[in-house]
A and B are shown apart, each in its own frame.
Chain A
Amino acid sequence: MQFFQHDEFIPRFLLVTSALAAFAKNSRAKFRQTRHNVRVRPENRMNAEVILEVRNLTRTYTSGSRILTVLDNVSFQLAPRGTCAIVGPSGSGKTTLLGLCAGLDLPTSGSVILNGAALSELNENQRALLRNQHTGFVFQNFQLLPTLTALENVMIPIELRGERGAVSAAKQLLSRVGLGDRLEHYPAQLSGGEQQRVALARAFINRPRILFVDEPTGNLDAETAATVVDLIFEMNDELDTALVLVTHDFELARRTNRILRLRGGRLVEDSTTVNAPPRS
Chain B
Amino acid sequence: MNWLLLMAWRDSRRSRRKLLLFSMSIVLGIAAMVAIGSFGQNLERAVEHQTKALLGADLMVQSRDEFNDKQRAFLDGIGVAHSDQVLFSSMVYFPKGDGTRLAQVAALSGDFPYYGEVETAPPDGWQRFKRGEGALVEDSLMHQFGVRVGDSVKVGELTTPIVGALLKVPGDNELFASFAPRVFLRMEKLPATKLLGDASLARYRRYIRFSSDADVAAATTQLRDRREELQLRFDTVEERRGDLGEALRNLYRFLNLVGFIALLLGSIGIASAIQVHVRQRLDSVAVLRCLGTTAGQAFTIYLIQGAALGLAGVIAGTGLGVLLQQLLPWAFVDFIPIEVKFFVDAWSVLRAVAVGFVICMLFALLPLLQVRNVSPLAVFRRDIDHLPKRDPWLFVVYLAIAAGVVWFAITQTNEWQHGVGFAGGLAGALVLLLAVSRMVVWSVRRVTHASLPFAWRQGLASLHRPNNRTLLLMVSLGLGTFLILTLYLVQHSLVRQLMPDNRANKPNAVLFDVQPDQRNGVVQILTNQNLPVIDLSPVVTMRIQSIKGVAAAELIRSRARSDRWALRREYRSTYRDHLADSEELLSGHWVKSAAPTNEIPISLEQGIARELNVGLGDEIIFDVQGISMKTRVANLRRVDWRRLQANFFVVFPTGVLEDAPGFSIITTRVKDSAESAAMQRAVVQRYPNVSTIDFTLVLRVVEGIVSKISFAIQFMAMFTVLTGVILLITAVLNSRFQRLRETVLLRTLGASSGQLLRIQVIEFLLLGLLASLTAILLAVASQWLLVKFVFKIEFSLPIAHLAAAIAINSALTVIVGLTASRSVLKRPPLEVLRAEG
Contacts and interface: CB of A to CB of B under 8 A. Distances in A.
Interface stretch (B156-164, B282-290, B596-604, B623-631): B282-290
A165 B535 CA distance: 100
Nearest to B349: A4
Nearest to A214: B380
B344 A128 contact: no
B3 A5 contact: no
A224 interface: no
B290 A147 contact: no
B343 A2 contact: yes
Interface residues on B, range: 35 or more
Contacts of B12: 147
A147 B292 contact: no
A167 B436 CA distance: 55
Interface in A128-146: 128-133, 137, 139, 143-146
B17 interface: no
Contacts of B350: 9, 13
Nearest to A199: B287
A28 interface: yes
Interface string B292-335: 11111100000000000000000000000000000000000000
Interface stretch (B371-379, B723-731, B791-799): B371-379
Given A24-B1, A105-B375, A139-B379, A6 B292 contact: no
A138 B290 CA distance: 10
B561 to A, nearest CB: 38
Contacts of A144: 287
Residue of A1, A4, A143 ringed by the most chain B CB atoms within 10 A: A143
Interface string B260-303: 00000000000000000000000110111111111111000000
Interface string B90-105: 0000000000000000
Contact of A145 (B6, B288, B346, B377): B288
A190 interface: no
A128 to B, nearest CB: 5
A146 B284 contact: yes
Interface stretch (A50-58, A83-91, A154-162, A262-270): A154-162
B291 A202 contact: yes
B288 A156 contact: yes
A209 to B, nearest CB: 14
A4 B346 contact: yes
Contacts, number: 106
A5 B283 contact: no
A5 B42 CA distance: 10
A9 B295 CA distance: 38
B294 A124 contact: yes
Given A99-B380, A146-B14, A125 B342 contact: no
Nearest to B343: A2
A95 interface: yes
A162 to B, nearest CB: 7
Contacts of B294: 124-125, 128-129
A81 B48 CA distance: 82
A3 interface: yes
Given A145-B284, A148-B10, A159-B6, A133 B346 contact: no
Contacts of B174: none
B343 A160 contact: no
A159 B283 CA distance: 20
Given A137-B291, A146-B284, A6 B347 contact: yes
A5 B13 CA distance: 40
B380 A1 contact: no
A95 B290 CA distance: 14
Contacts of B343: 1-3, 5
Nearest to B3: A159
A156 B291 CA distance: 8
Nearest to B13: A147
A102 B294 CA distance: 15
B292 A157 contact: yes
A143 B292 contact: no
Contacts of B286: 143
Interface in B54-73: none
Contacts of B287: 143-145
A152 interface: yes
A57 to B, nearest CB: 15
Contacts of A159: 3, 6-7
A147 B295 contact: no
A143 B346 contact: no
B292 A128 contact: yes
B79 to A, nearest CB: 35
A226 interface: no
Interface string A195-236: 000000010000000000010000000000000000000000
Contacts of B13: 147-148
Contacts of A99: 376-377, 380
B43 to A, nearest CB: 13
Contacts of A3: 343-344, 346
B381 A95 contact: yes
Contact of A133 (B292, B377, B835): B292
Range of interface residues on A (Cβ < 8 Å)? 35 or more
B810 interface: no
Nearest to A147: B13
Interface string B826-837: 000000000100
Given A99-B380, A104-B375, A160 B292 contact: yes
Question: Taking each of B291, B293, B344, which has the highest tally of chain A beta carbons within 10 Å of its own beta carbon?
Answer: B291
A145 B11 contact: yes
Nearest to B296: A125
A104 B384 CA distance: 13
B292 A129 contact: yes
B290 A137 contact: yes
B345 interface: yes
Contacts of B381: 95
B41 interface: yes
Contacts of B296: 125
Contacts of A162: 3
Identify which of B11, B288, B342, B376 gathers the most chain A CB atoms within 10 Å of its CB: B376
B284 A157 contact: no
Interface string A1-22: 1111110010001000000000
Contact of A132 (B6, B11, B14, B292): B292
A176 to B, nearest CB: 19
Contacts of B376: 99, 104-105, 131
Which of A28, A98, A132 gathers most chain B CB within 10 Å? A132
Contacts of B289: 104, 128
Contact of A128 (B10, B11, B293, B377): B293
Contacts of A157: 291-292
A234 B346 CA distance: 64
Contacts of A13: 350
Contact of A9 (B1, B290, B293, B346): B346
Contacts of A188: 835
Interface of A: 1-6, 9, 13, 24, 28, 95, 98-99, 102, 104-105, 124-125, 128-133, 137, 139, 143-148, 152, 156-157, 159-160, 162, 188, 202, 214
| 10 closest residue pairs by CB, A with B | A132-B292, A2-B343, A104-B376, A4-B346, A147-B13, A125-B294, A131-B292, A9-B346, A104-B377, A128-B294
25 contacts: A1-B343, A3-B343, A4-B344, A5-B41, A5-B344, A5-B345, A9-B346, A95-B381, A104-B289, A124-B295, A125-B296, A132-B293, A143-B379, A144-B287, A145-B10, A145-B284, A145-B288, A147-B11, A147-B13, A148-B11, A159-B6, A159-B7, A160-B3, A160-B292, A160-B293
Interface of B: 1, 3, 6-7, 10-14, 41, 283-284, 286-297, 341-347, 350, 375-377, 379-381, 835
Given A102-B290, A128-B289, A146-B14, 16 more contacts: A9-B346, A98-B380, A99-B377, A104-B377, A104-B380, A105-B376, A124-B294, A129-B292, A130-B292, A132-B291, A137-B290, A143-B286, A143-B290, A145-B11, A148-B10, A202-B291
